[in-house]
Chain A
Amino acid sequence: MTDTLKPRDGKDVEEAVRFAIGNEKPLEVAGRGSKRRIGRPSQTDLTLDLSDLSGVTLYEPAELVLSAKAGTPLAEIEALLERNNQQLGFEPMDYGPVFGDKPGQGSIGGVVASNLSGPRRIKAGAARDHFLGVTAVTGRGETIKSGGRVVKNVTGYDLCKVLAGSWGTLAAMTDVTVKVLPKSETEATVVVSGLDDARAAEAMSAAIGSPHDVSAAAHLPDHVVSWFDGLPNAEAATVLRIEGFAPSIAHRKEALAGLMRPFGAVAILDPGESRALWRAVGEVRPFAVDAARDRPLWRISTAPGKGHEIANLITPAAQMFYDWAGGLVWVAMPSPDEPNAASIRRAVAEVGGHATLIRAPASVRAAVEVFEPEAAPIAALNRRVKDSFDPKGVLNPGRMWAGV
């Protein structure tokens, strides 16, 4: 039975961390807990629950900036932005459904701590690229701030970058400031049917390498395509999204369709179909459905042109689809307790990039590396960085790597 501390403000967070240091009681740091099952299983019996640090503290649409307490529900922020015709440009994906939960349960702090991104990653970057400022309590029990509320800022080290994607292992964030962007007026998706994975990689490369400003590119092989809504047929679908002003979309969807016709049969999805499709991509739909939920799920990040090579290097029983023009490969392994970690690590070593075991039973995540093991000098540097923020190892110890 774990105990929970629920701070009301930054001072409480400091106090909680100092308690942890003084009593050698490491903390599991959680925002709203929607991603607790990602990473190596928690080895703590005390949870620092930041969900009461909630609320948007600054939002200036014309300045494209929003600040919120770290535990603020992402859904609340997205609704507020929606009312002002704005959005988080990095289109954070939603891990909820992957774990059988409802979508929309995460916090803005969690989004940043896990450096979430989505299909728009290829154009707009990830949370790190929109993360302007932070207030956080380090593992020394001290409140620090870094960055600010303006986009152009090179004052001091960019600690926001290293906190983004550190999964709460360096500091417990209490306040974050992010850049926001106007929502696109409209969108469309061009679908190319029937391509194999290698040909799809070429098609996506041609599309992204065109001036048509493609904002998302995914390839959905035929063994998973039926899980996605709005597609014209049951063949493999290579899908390319464009977003922007109506006259521009009217022009670009035709131009992009023309560019894609030499690759295969082309169809165009209307804005509603397009939105539904990309929501499914961002929720990893084929592997979030009941039938697939006990399959170990890998997230592989590689050079876009190399993604399809992974398929040839691992078991044919694995299922997969590609986002980020081929640079993000979601792989579901066939049997619940066997993540096939060795073959995934070998494949990634061969094609380059890194793999994260996103979903697997706790016993499995305790037994195999969840995050990509780093080369020795980088692993040593990571440990020194961890020590510089959290010398006593009281914040999410071991969540990313043993001993960090």
Chain B
Amino acid sequence: MTLTMPKPDGEVLARRERIVAALRTIVPGEGVISTNREMKPFETDGLSAYRQTPMVVVLPETTKQVAEVLRYCHAEGIKVVPRGAGTSLSGGALPLEDGVLLGMAKFNKIREIDFANRVAVVEPGVTNLAVSTAVAHAGFYYAPDPSSQIACTIGGNVAENSGGVHCLKYGVTTNNILGCEIVLMSGEVLRLGGKHLDAAGYDLLGLITGSEGLLGVVTEVTVRLLKKAETQRAVLIGFPSSEDAGACVSAIIAAGIIPGGMEMMDRLAIHAAEEFAHCGYPLDVEALLIVEVDGPQVEVDHLIGRVEAIAKTCRAVSSEVSTSEEQRLLFWAGRKAAFPAVGRIADYFCTDGTIPRAKLPQVLAAMKQMSETYGLRVANVFHAGDGNLHPLILYDENKPGEMDKVEQFGAAILKLCVEVGGVLTGEHGVGVEKRDLMPVMFSEIDLAAQQRVKCAFDEKGLLNPGKVFPKLHRCAELGRMHVVGGKVPFPDIPRF
């Protein structure tokens, strides 16, 4: 695949040996990896179509080491790419040939669990699921639950503002973290927020969340813990068409019900998931909804009843309520395994737009059309409650030229998402994958405003360059101001 990354700095590459030696003085022992063989596992992330061996891998263990590595690289003009567990689906952790890959995996401790204030203070290399597991004995959990939660880490979750299947009701990462320690490219260490609920001044924590590792390296995160609901039950509802399923989602929300999760799958995804996970999905429907409600038993029973009644009015052809915790988890097992399940049928390319929910029939119809045009099949899984679409484009990696078609198809879907009022990415991030599509959604002025924020954090542009922004600009150039103004504004209206 073709991807233009920032031109490697030959001068930096020429100094490689000295740079590696200098880094070894900061992070001793096995914390610096410089042989090609050992660096192999770091050459790609969850977007495996792109690969690049980094100049060197550094695995620091302390904030001090992170700060020193960054301060050194800042002084020496060396690029740095931060990496969590490397599960990014948008290439956020794709290394640079002339860059240090800063792996945060050794930051794997939970520093504090504070039930009185309902927070945990964790290092960024702790996996998402490990946080929930560590507090499960007391009935608490950490709400965001991306499908990769067994592997992905909190630091990466902050960088990507990760969501999950329950974020309709419980929010995404940015709604569930209260504080962090972050090291800027200059090596400065900042502590933002804490155990209190809101920012003292500018919401820098909110700005960092979802910044894809371009603003700083997170070395500690304070996350909110929630008490588990008494009961959760899920209902599987089959529909004769995706339109009916979409209408049902709207009707449920219009009835004032915000389910804990509301997922939709189309026929191809249902069949793949059922074959893979044997989860009891109906195979004679065009669309399937999983609706989960949580709360006290009496509330769950009440809501399940209402959801089933609404589904009936939306032409549902089947409905099955989970009768045990095992069955509920089985319902989810199929959905959570949908990507690998589809992966058994063919190679697939997952994309990630969000659309206003009402546009679903229009987008699905257009996608069907495009599927024919490109000669590639699409399976759809969909966070239906919040409009986040994950079309999986099926292809054959061994067929020459097929990947180019896939990329074009994927881009066409995302452009359509923006056209109907949605966005390029709901939760996987821009990374390198959607970088060159940013102008579809943003003007030059919008992008310049974002890049000026980048300059405020990293004026040399050394942290994770080549991600998110299609064009790199120097901060000095971005800072210039050409204002044509000075005349009295709109003199034709009264001034007081």
Which residues of A are interface residues toward B (Cβ below 8 A)?
Answer: 3-8, 12, 15-19, 21-23, 60-65, 85, 115, 117, 121-122, 125-126, 128-129, 138, 140-146, 148-162, 164-166, 170, 181-183, 185, 205, 208-213, 244-245, 247-248, 250-252, 255, 301-306, 324, 327-328, 352-354, 371-372, 374-375, 377-378, 381-382, 384-385, 387-389, 391-392, 400-401
Q: Mark B263-293, 1 if CB is under 8 A from A, else 0.
A: 0000000000000000000000000000000
- Which residue of A has the minimal Cβ distance to B256? A182
Query: Do B118 and A208 have beta carbons less than 8 Å apart?
Result: yes
A205/B116 contact (C-beta < 8 A), A153-B354, A182-B256 known: yes
Query: Do A152 and B227 have beta carbons less than 8 Å apart?
Result: no
Would you give the shortest CB distance from B143 to chain A, in whole angstroms? 12
Complex CA–CA separation, A144 to B451 (angstroms): 12
- The answer to the question of B20 belonging to the interface, with a C-beta cut-off of 8 Å to chain A, is no
A19/B358 contact (C-beta < 8 A), A148-B422, A156-B450 known: no
Query: Do A6 and B493 have beta carbons less than 8 Å apart?
Result: yes
Query: Do B203 and A115 have beta carbons less than 8 Å apart?
Result: yes
User: Which of B6-14, B25-33, B479-487 is the contact stretch?
Assistant: B479-487
Complex CA–CA separation, A7 to B493 (angstroms): 9
- The answer to the question of B426 belonging to the interface, with a C-beta cut-off of 8 Å to chain A, is yes
Additional pairs, 18, CB under 8 Å, beyond known A18-B484, A157-B210, A245-B302: A6-B494, A17-B485, A22-B486, A85-B256, A141-B483, A152-B163, A152-B354, A155-B430, A156-B438, A170-B202, A183-B256, A208-B227, A247-B298, A302-B195, A302-B196, A377-B189, A381-B457, A382-B201
Name the one of A17, A149, A156 contacting B421, with C-beta atoms under 8 angstroms.
A149
Q: Mark B185-217, 1 if CB is under 8 A from A, else 0.
A: 000111110111111111111110111000000
Q: Chain B residues with Cβ under 8 A from A381's Cβ?
A: 184, 190, 204, 456-457
Complex CA–CA separation, A15 to B490 (angstroms): 7
Q: Chain B residues with Cβ under 8 A from A213's Cβ?
A: 229, 295
- Which residue of B has the minimal Cβ distance to A166? B202
Dominant secondary structure of chain B at its interface with chain A = loop
A155/B423 contact (C-beta < 8 A), A18-B485, A140-B483, A388-B453 known: yes
Would you give the shortest CB distance from A14 to chain B, in whole angstroms? 9
Query: Do A19 and B489 have beta carbons less than 8 Å apart?
Result: yes
A251/B161 contact (C-beta < 8 A), A5-B489, A62-B358, A152-B383 known: no
What are 25 A-B pairs at a CB distance below 8 A? Answer: A21-B481, A23-B486, A60-B358, A62-B250, A146-B446, A146-B450, A150-B386, A150-B423, A151-B354, A152-B163, A152-B172, A152-B387, A153-B423, A153-B426, A154-B427, A155-B423, A158-B207, A159-B449, A165-B203, A211-B229, A301-B200, A374-B201, A382-B201, A385-B456, A388-B452
Query: Do A354 and B228 have beta carbons less than 8 Å apart?
Result: no
Name the one of A6, A22, A251 contacting B298, with C-beta atoms under 8 angstroms.
A251
Q: Chain B residues with Cβ under 8 A from A209's Cβ?
A: 115-116, 118, 140, 227
Query: Do B190 and A162 have beta carbons less than 8 Å apart?
Result: no
Query: Do A327 and B455 have beta carbons less than 8 Å apart?
Result: no
A181/B452 contact (C-beta < 8 A), A21-B485, A128-B206, A150-B422 known: no
Q: Chain A residues with Cβ under 8 A from B139's Cβ?
A: 211
Query: Do B210 and A117 have beta carbons less than 8 Å apart?
Result: no
A64/B253 contact (C-beta < 8 A), A128-B206, A248-B296 known: yes
Name the one of A248, A375, A382 contacting B302, with C-beta atoms under 8 angstroms.
A248
Q: Chain B residues with Cβ under 8 A from A181's Cβ?
A: 258
Complex CA–CA separation, A208 to B387 (angstroms): 30
- The answer to the question of B325 belonging to the interface, with a C-beta cut-off of 8 Å to chain A, is no
Name the one of B198, B426, B487 contacting A154, with C-beta atoms under 8 angstroms.
B426
Query: Do B357 and A19 have beta carbons less than 8 Å apart?
Result: no
Query: Do B228 and A211 have beta carbons less than 8 Å apart?
Result: yes
Complex CA–CA separation, A115 to B490 (angstroms): 31
Would you give the shortest CB distance from B384 to chain A, in whole angstroms? 11
Q: Chain B residues with Cβ under 8 A from A385's Cβ?
A: 202, 204, 207, 453, 456
Complex CA–CA separation, A226 to B127 (angstroms): 49
Complex CA–CA separation, A250 to B422 (angstroms): 40
Q: Chain A residues with Cβ under 8 A from B424's Cβ?
A: 155
Name the one of A212, A248, A354 contacting B196, with C-beta atoms under 8 angstroms.
A354
Complex CA–CA separation, A14 to B453 (angstroms): 20
Q: Chain B residues with Cβ under 8 A from A3's Cβ?
A: 495-496
Q: Mark B421-435, 1 if CB is under 8 A from A, else 0.
A: 111111111100010
Would you give the shortest CB distance from A35 to chain B, in whole angstroms? 16
Query: Do B481 and A391 have beta carbons less than 8 Å apart?
Result: yes
Name the one of A19, A306, A374 contacting B485, with C-beta atoms under 8 angstroms.
A19
Q: Chain B residues with Cβ under 8 A from A64's Cβ?
A: 253
- Which residue of B has the minimal Cβ distance to A352? B194
Query: Do B442 and A156 have beta carbons less than 8 Å apart?
Result: yes
Q: Which of A117, A150, A154, A374 has the most CB of B within 10 A?
A: A154
Would you give the shortest CB distance from A356 to chain B, in whole angstroms? 8
Q: Chain B residues with Cβ under 8 A from A143's Cβ?
A: 445
- The answer to the question of B388 belonging to the interface, with a C-beta cut-off of 8 Å to chain A, is yes
Q: Chain B residues with Cβ under 8 A from A327's Cβ?
A: 196-197
Q: Chain B residues with Cβ under 8 A from A125's Cβ?
A: 171, 175
Query: Do A377 and B230 have beta carbons less than 8 Å apart?
Result: no
- Which residue of A has the minimal Cβ distance to B215? A157
Q: Chain B residues with Cβ under 8 A from A158's Cβ?
A: 161, 174, 206-207, 209-211
Q: Chain A residues with Cβ under 8 A from B172's Cβ?
A: 152
- The answer to the question of B419 belonging to the interface, with a C-beta cut-off of 8 Å to chain A, is no
Q: Chain B residues with Cβ under 8 A from A157's Cβ?
A: 207, 210-211, 450, 453-454
- The answer to the question of B68 belonging to the interface, with a C-beta cut-off of 8 Å to chain A, is no
Name the one of A126, A148, A155, A185 contacting B198, with C-beta atoms under 8 angstroms.
A126
Q: Mark B225-243, 1 if CB is under 8 A from A, else 0.
A: 0011110000000000000
A22/B485 contact (C-beta < 8 A), A62-B357, A152-B383, A181-B258 known: yes
Name the one of B189, B209, B447 contacting A161, with C-beta atoms under 8 angstroms.
B209
Complex CA–CA separation, A47 to B388 (angstroms): 41
- Which residue of A has the minimal Cβ distance to B211? A157
Q: Mark B447-479, 1 if CB is under 8 A from A, else 0.
A: 101101111110000000000100000000001
